Chains A and B, each alone.
Chain A
């Protein structure tokens, strides 16, 4: 009990003097509710089982740590794709740099505008999906985001969107502390692709709530960080209805600390939910954490989790994945794989792949492996005249292939593959 008291004291101390942003009545209520959740659950500490492998201290500290700006002359990712660009600089919307917020089949608005409107569909999603995802483990940083966020976008797909929406997060201030909250509502039968790119800020808290109606399709492809010192905690809360499809892929390059949480709730029959991720990390101060929680609460649904990590020079990769199959969620097909490739002896992989199953007619499986590059395969390639480094990179890419295949759009996958090759070539 002493621990609980300590936690509540620390939380109160951190929240002292914090004032909530204001907007329409419903928005104020949603923020106040979220702040109440933060106080009730308390901010996370290293002692929480849920944060066993990742120290949240730098995420909960009052001020953000410094992150040097990173410059390179590479072309922006997905530059060849016809898309609606929505640009944020250190977490603030930049209208000048952004495209016209319009495309056929889409309604795009700034979060601030939506939160100021007395009547808005966002009321039924903002903080609602996040609150649903707070059990059985508290995700306090998500509630804090809901309480404090003022910027972001709200997107409603009413039909098959003419082009994807690309949220571009630029970083220009070495100590920026950005909070963004995005909403996506996919109406019945509609379809949209959301792209997210860029390092965003020195410290970045980002939350995405996605509501996919019956027969809707949501694709999400994200590339985070890039030889960068930023710290990030991101959450994705999705509610997935009957016969709909949700697919999310994340590629993470270097970054000091990244915690990506993905909380999916499948509520309609015959739905599909896939989450995949690749992280490549180099260096002792690289720490990457994928935490996934998928709840099956409907019949005949499929979920897949595919996570691959390449770690070197003392990098740390964490995977916590859980499939919960509720009573009555029969014919569930749940698959989960988490694998790491340790390129040297100092790197580490920490995993907790969990299953919690209350239905008997299901096929759920999980696998997790960790090890070095296969010496036999390496030898084979060398004997065919491939240089050691090339052979290693080739084998690394083939190790990552299963995760890249989770991206439905091949041109997007190709772009990310190029970036991966570039990273491997630079980090020999």
Chain B
């Protein structure tokens, strides 16, 4: 943390903020490695590897063909260069595209059959796979029922899903929560109907690669009218060296259903960078609601920029039905390079999309992240709140699109992006695209900190606070709201961020 220790902090940025950033981006706690016997596919990617991955997952022919056509397309397209990130060329033939623990050769029937070493790995990460209650009494759990809260977990280790908890209980509610490989096997009709309909295999370079080589991931189906009885969660762990992780998540919320989904990720410390190119697709039907929360804590590399994860992720939610709703919340602290834009297609009338993001980049980290709000339906609403924090020599970019199509009458968008720089060697950038094609919609984009609610500010001032204090309180209060929207399990980690004030911030 040398980079932050000797930095001269400008007046107006309080020490608490600096400490909070230090704490969060300090010594990486999850940098250890599990010593476990692995089985790899040969290095590199070609149609044979694609077929091999497909056969390892015991996939039907249509799935194999789907992958192969994606691969064919991938070979013809070029890596995108528009993001404000720099990294050495990736040699796509020098990566293992499939790595699984030997003990996973035969899929374990239940969690009891899973290799204890794997269970211990997740235990150490604080993700117990044994079906158990998460004890109440942790900070932020006040609203949890007294007997504790349950979270079903799908644990992905390198290329395979290790196990999924609480499956039986979820089944009772009609909810399907399993690995995507299992879904392809057991629910092919659902997968066939929805896979690639939100993020088509032709979407972008990394999504196309993912479509060809995705090895596992999570699948969620919530039937009509069902409120998922517990939070669902996937925990991604990269362990093997020189391995890329390509998981695919597909979430379907049928009419009138609700689910809250959490995602967490970590990786060991290594000198060489590793690639993570995931795709998340969410389909939301009429009156359904999905909350998707991420605490992204991949290994960020050391302070000289060696190693770390290249996190090139495509996430998109399609609000197909009227009055459907999606909320993306992300706390991005890890990864050497982040390239990630969780987006909302607001197709149904009166549908809503929300995006709350806190992105912290320290040392040599580079983050280029944001969202897209594509308004297609009438009376659609979206809100974007993005807080970017840069320290050390990091570069942090917000990149977003708000698009009001001619038919999206009477729609509304509000965007607020704030950036905070700690030290004079880092950078903070904002690249919003705003496209308004009808006049009954209102779009507002702001990148100032002074625009906190005037009434609240006035109230604070009238109670004797000075302007700075008042702004800090109002903004902190707002931040807290966002963070408390995170499910409890993540709130712990994210609460450290609440201390961050936005004083001295720039647009």
Chain A residues with CB under 8 Å of chain B are 49, 327-328, 330, 340, 342-372
B465 within 8 A of A: no
Distance, CA A355 to CA B427, complexed state (A) = 10
Please choose the segment from B131-139, B200-208, B265-273, B439-447 that sits at the chain A interface, where 4 or more of its residues have CB less than 8 A away: B439-447
B424 within 8 A of A: yes
Residues of A within 8 A of B480 (CB): none
Q: A356–B445 contact, CB under 8 A?
A: no
B197 within 8 A of A: no
Distance, CA A328 to CA B427, complexed state (A) = 12
Please choose the segment from B314-322, B337-345, B429-437 that sits at the chain A interface, where 4 or more of its residues have CB less than 8 A away: B429-437
Distance, CA A358 to CA B447, complexed state (A) = 16
Residues of A within 8 A of B82 (CB): 49
Q: B442–A365 contact, CB under 8 A?
A: no
Please choose the segment from B145-153, B277-285, B415-423 that sits at the chain A interface, where 4 or more of its residues have CB less than 8 A away: B415-423
Interface size range of chain B in the complex? 35 or more
Residues of B within 8 A of A351 (CB): 432-435, 445
Choose among B423, B428, B439, B504 the residue that contacts A347 (Cβ–Cβ < 8 A).
B439
Q: A365–B436 contact, CB under 8 A?
A: no
Q: B448–A367 contact, CB under 8 A?
A: yes
Give the Cβ gap from A257 to chain B, nearest Cβ, in Å: 19
Q: B438–A345 contact, CB under 8 A?
A: yes
B130 within 8 A of A: no
Distance, CA A352 to CA B428, complexed state (A) = 16
Residues of B within 8 A of A355 (CB): 419, 428-430, 447, 506-507
Distance, CA A370 to CA B444, complexed state (A) = 7
Q: Name 7 A/B residue pairs within 8 A (Cβ), A-sorted.
A: A342-B439, A347-B439, A351-B445, A353-B432, A360-B421, A361-B10, A365-B507
Question: Assuming the A-B contacts A342-B439, A347-B439, A355-B507, are A368 and B445 also in contact, with contact meaning beta carbons closer than 8 angstroms in the complex?
Answer: yes
Within 8 A of A (CB), among B330-381: none
Q: A368–B434 contact, CB under 8 A?
A: yes
Question: Assuming the A-B contacts A357-B429, A365-B507, are A348 and B436 also in contact, with contact meaning beta carbons closer than 8 angstroms in the complex?
Answer: yes
Give the Cβ gap from A276 to chain B, nearest Cβ, in Å: 19
Question: Assuming the A-B contacts A344-B439, A353-B432, A370-B434, are A359 and B445 also in contact, with contact meaning beta carbons closer than 8 angstroms in the complex?
Answer: no
Question: Assuming the A-B contacts A327-B425, A342-B439, A354-B430, are A363 and B447 also in contact, with contact meaning beta carbons closer than 8 angstroms in the complex?
Answer: no
Distance, CA A206 to CA B447, complexed state (A) = 33
Q: A359–B424 contact, CB under 8 A?
A: yes
Q: Which single residue of chain B is at the shortest CB-CB distance from A373?
A: B439
Give the Cβ gap from A312 to chain B, nearest Cβ, in Å: 9
Q: A363–B427 contact, CB under 8 A?
A: no
Residues of B within 8 A of A352 (CB): 431-434
Q: Which 3 A-B pairs have the closest CB atoms?
A: A342-B439, A365-B448, A360-B421
Q: Which single residue of chain A is at the shortest CB-CB distance from B505?
A: A363
Question: Assuming the A-B contacts A352-B432, A352-B434, A357-B427, are A364 and B439 also in contact, with contact meaning beta carbons closer than 8 angstroms in the complex?
Answer: no
Residues of A within 8 A of B504 (CB): 360-361
Q: A340-B436, A370-B434 are in contact. List 16 more A-B contacts (CB 8 A).
A: A342-B439, A345-B438, A348-B435, A349-B436, A351-B445, A352-B431, A352-B432, A353-B430, A353-B445, A357-B421, A360-B423, A366-B430, A367-B446, A368-B443, A369-B444, A370-B441
Distance, CA A366 to CA B430, complexed state (A) = 10
Give the Cβ gap from B49 to chain A, nearest Cβ, in Å: 26
Q: Label chain A's interface by main secondary structure.
A: strand
Residues of B within 8 A of A362 (CB): 506
Q: Which single residue of chain A is at the shortest CB-CB distance from B413?
A: A370
Q: B440–A372 contact, CB under 8 A?
A: yes
Q: Which single residue of chain A is at the shortest CB-CB distance from B398?
A: A355
Within 8 A of A (CB), among B435-485: 435-448, 450
B406 within 8 A of A: yes
Residues of B within 8 A of A354 (CB): 429-432
Q: A342–B436 contact, CB under 8 A?
A: yes
Q: A349–B438 contact, CB under 8 A?
A: no
Give the Cβ gap from B370 to chain A, nearest Cβ, in Å: 12
Give the Cβ gap from B94 to chain A, nearest Cβ, in Å: 22
Residues of A within 8 A of B424 (CB): 327-328, 330, 358-361
Within 8 A of A (CB), among B225-259: none
Q: Which single residue of chain A is at the shortest CB-CB distance from B84?
A: A356
Q: A350–B431 contact, CB under 8 A?
A: no
Most buried by B among A345, A347, A355, A366: A355
Q: B436–A370 contact, CB under 8 A?
A: yes
Residues of A within 8 A of B507 (CB): 355, 364-366
Question: Assuming the A-B contacts A349-B436, A350-B436, are A369 and B430 also in contact, with contact meaning beta carbons closer than 8 angstroms in the complex?
Answer: no
Give the Cβ gap from B427 to chain A, nearest Cβ, in Å: 5
Distance, CA A353 to CA B443, complexed state (A) = 13
Most buried by B among A49, A361, A365, A369: A365
Distance, CA A344 to CA B431, complexed state (A) = 28
Q: B428–A357 contact, CB under 8 A?
A: yes
Distance, CA A345 to CA B507, complexed state (A) = 31
Q: Which single residue of chain A is at the shortest CB-CB distance from B425?
A: A327
Give the Cβ gap from A252 to chain B, nearest Cβ, in Å: 19
Q: Which single residue of chain B is at the shortest CB-CB distance from A320?
A: B433
Q: A367–B10 contact, CB under 8 A?
A: no
Q: A370–B443 contact, CB under 8 A?
A: yes
Q: Which single residue of chain A is at the shortest CB-CB distance from B419?
A: A357
Distance, CA A346 to CA B450, complexed state (A) = 34
Distance, CA A369 to CA B444, complexed state (A) = 4
Give the Cβ gap from A317 to chain B, nearest Cβ, in Å: 9
Q: B439–A356 contact, CB under 8 A?
A: no
Q: A367–B447 contact, CB under 8 A?
A: yes
Give the Cβ gap from A191 to chain B, nearest Cβ, in Å: 32
Residues of A within 8 A of B446 (CB): 365, 367
Give the Cβ gap from B326 to chain A, nearest Cβ, in Å: 24
Most buried by B among A327, A350, A356, A357: A357
Q: A371–B506 contact, CB under 8 A?
A: no
Distance, CA A219 to CA B414, complexed state (A) = 36
